[in-house]
Chains A and B, each alone.
Chain A
Amino acid sequence: DGGITQSPKYLFRKEGQNVTLSCEQNLNHDAMYWYRQDPGQGLRLIYYSQIVNDFQKGDIAEGYSVSREKKESFPLTVTSAQKNPTAFYLCASSIPHWNTEAFFGQGTRLTVV
C-alpha cells in the first residue's frame, strides 16, 4: 500500500525537551517537506529536501532540525529552542521536477504540557 506515513499521531512534550516526528514514504519521491499548521494561518513551510543528504530551510525553520539520510525518510526534530511548538505538523512528498501533486501524511499533533 503506497503512501506517506507519519508517526505518532499525537505527541506530548514537556517544556525543554526535544522530540522527533517521523515521516516515511514509499512513493519513490525525491522531494519531501515539513509544514506546520496553526488555525487561521494555513500551512507554513519549515524545511524541505530535494534529494538525499540535502535540505533547505523554509519560512519558519528556527527551532527545528531535519535529516535526510534515506530517500524514504525525513524526520523532524522540534528542539527546545522552538518557543511555541504546539501545532499540527504535516509531512509531504512530491516529484519536484514536474511540479506535480504533493501527497500528505496524516499529520502529528504536538502538544507541549
Chain B
Amino acid sequence: GENVEQHPSTLSVQEGDSAVIKCTYSDSASNYFPWYKQELGKRPQLIIDIRSNVGEKKDQRIAVTLNKTAKHFSLHITETQPEDSAVYFCAASSNSGNTGKLIFGQGTTLQVKP
C-alpha cells in the first residue's frame, strides 16, 4: 500500500544552523507533498507544500525540494530559531479517486538549541 518514510526521527541543531528532513514515498501516482508543523499539544499546521510539476519551492527560511524519479522530497530550514522547535510531518497525496487523503510520515522532532 501507500507508504511515506521520514528521517530522521529526532534532530537537534544549534540556533542559526540549517536543518534538513527527508521523506520517501511509494506511490508513483502521488502528486502533492505538504509539510506540517505541530507544536506540543496543538494541531498540525501547513508550512509549505509542493506539487509534482515543480522541483523546488521556497518561502523565506523554508524550502522544499522534490525528486520525482527517486520518489524523494526534503524540507530545508535555514537560520533556525528556537521557535522552529516542533514536530514536523511530511505527507503525500495522490489525485486518483479525488480522495485528497494524505499519507503521513512518522514525524521528526526538531530541537533548536539557543
B84 CB, nearest partner CB in chain A, Å:
19
Query: How many pairs of residues, A versus B, come closer than 8 Å at their CB atoms?
Result: 67
Which parts of A30-88 form the interface with B (CB within 8 Å)? 31, 33, 35, 40-45, 48, 50, 56, 58-59
Q: Given A48-B101, A50-B98, check contact A43 B89 (CB 8 Å).
A: yes
B104 in the interface, Cβ–Cβ < 8 Å? yes
> Which of A43, A48, A95 meets B44, CB within 8 Å?
A43
Does A90 sit at the interface, judged by CB under 8 A? Answer: yes
In the complex, what residues of B have CB within 8 A of residue A90's CB?
A: 43-44
Q: Which residues of B contact A95 (CB under 8 A)?
A: 100
**A106 at the B interface (CB under 8 A):** yes
Q: Is the CB of A42 within 8 A of B44?
A: no
Residue numbers in A under 8 Å from B49 (CB-CB)? 101
**Minimum Cβ distance to chain A for residue B106 (Å):** 4
Asked if A102 is an interface residue, CB under 8 A from chain B, the answer is yes
Q: How far is the CB of A40 from chain B (nearest CB, A)?
A: 6
Chain B, interface size category, equals 20 to 34
**Cβ–Cβ contact A104 & B101, under 8 A:** no
Q: How far is the CA of A97 from the CA of B95 in the complex (A)?
A: 7
The CA-CA distance from A47 to B95 in the complex, in Å, is: 18
B114 at the interface (CB under 8 A from A): no
A99, B1: Cβ atoms closer than 8 Å: no
Measured between beta carbons, the chain B residues less than 8 angstroms from A107 are 42-43
Q: Are A99 and B42 in contact (CB under 8 A)?
A: no
Alpha-carbon distance between A96 and B45 when the two chains are bound, in angstroms? 17
Can you offer 19 A-B residue contacts whose CB atoms are under 8 A? A31-B99, A31-B100, A40-B107, A41-B106, A42-B104, A42-B107, A43-B89, A44-B104, A48-B99, A48-B101, A50-B100, A56-B99, A99-B95, A100-B100, A101-B34, A102-B102, A104-B44, A106-B43, A107-B43
Binding site for B on A (CB under 8 A): 31, 33, 35, 40-45, 48, 50, 56, 58-59, 90, 92, 94-97, 99-102, 104-107
- Complex A-B, nearest 8 residue pairs according to Cβ-Cβ distance, in ascending order: A96-B100, A99-B32, A104-B43, A43-B104, A42-B106, A42-B104, A94-B100, A101-B46
